[in-house]
Amino acid sequence: MDLVVRPGSVWAERVAGELAGRLAARPSLRICLPTGDTPVPVYDAVVALVADGACSFEGATVVLLDEWVGLPPGDPARCDTRIRAQLIDRLPAPPAAVHVIDADDPWPGAAAARHDVEARNLDLVVLGLGLNGHIGFNEPGSRPDDPTRLVRLAVSSREAAVARYGATRVPTAGITVGLARLLEAGECWLLVTGERKARILRRALEEPEGPDCPASYLRRHPRLTVFADEAAAGLLRR
């Protein structure tokens, strides 16, 4: 595992620079991206790098990490709404493909199975860290061999949908790329910022792995890089 710690003032530029480098090295990059608040400054910085001509998403395939089930199309908390507003729609040339999750399918389990196919052969997965140790919507209790699937959301995730992301109703379920797909990707990045994530980051990286903290399984990945700001890394023994 590589641990990259930077001051909050330059953290996003550091991650964006790495991403631009991956895109430049492999224009056909297949990349799985999260929403949430953590990657927002990274997406801002990437958009600026694309505008400067440092990289392009034109040949890339973007696979969405997760989606709420039960929120109407266009809901401000929807992951497809957010990734388009924060990244995709700001690019001068769209990615070659964008695979969002069809959470409006009356059979969400079937939509999850279809997305599991898109989530294979990923070059890079980018993840945020939930305060309860979740990764995507792989909530506590998830296992390393879980595929992309329909899941029941933890209470804290339901509350976050409304309180933090402005959902118009409380979702109780979601679809998430499973740990099996995340662990088989070519490279895995975990993005963590802020003092409130310090305790769970220490749990994920320095205490025994286990289903109570799905992020702890990421240590099995042979090419895991954790990008943390100084506040989030504050409790790590380094």
Cβ-based nearer residue to ligand F6R, 30 or 134: 134
For ligand F6R, which is the closer residue by CB, 61 or 157? 157
- Residue 34 engages ligand F6R in binding (rule: CB under 6 A): yes
Judged by CB under 6 A, the residue of 15, 22, 31, 35 near ligand F6R is 35
User: What backbone torsions phi and psi does residue 36 show, to the nearest 5 degrees?
Assistant: 75, 180
Q: Which of 75, 80, 118, 139 is catalytic?
A: 139
- Are the C-beta atoms of residues 60 and 95 closer than 8 Å to each other? yes
First to last CA, the chain: 13
65 touches ligand F6R (CB under 6 A): yes
Active site residue 134: yes
Binds ligand F6R (CB under 6 A): choice among 5, 15, 42, 66: 66
Minimum CB–partner distance for residue 24 and ligand F6R (Å): 25
User: Cα separation of 35 and 82, whole Å?
Assistant: 7
Rounded to the nearest whole angstrom, what is the least distance from the CB of residue 220 to ligand F6R in the complex? 18
146 is a site residue for ligand F6R (CB under 6 A): no
| Residue 192 main-chain phi, psi, to 5 deg | -140, 125
Closest CA to 27 of 64, 6, 58: 58
Nearer to ligand F6R by Cβ, of 37 and 207: the residue is 37
The answer to whether the beta carbons of residues 65 and 97 sit under 8 Å apart is no
Residues 6+ apart with CB under 8 A from 142: 134, 135, 151, 178, 179, 211, 214
Whether 66 is catalytic: yes
Q: Which of 18, 75, 80, 134 is catalytic?
A: 134
Binding residues for ligand F6R (CB under 6 A): 34-38, 65-66, 79, 128-130, 134-136
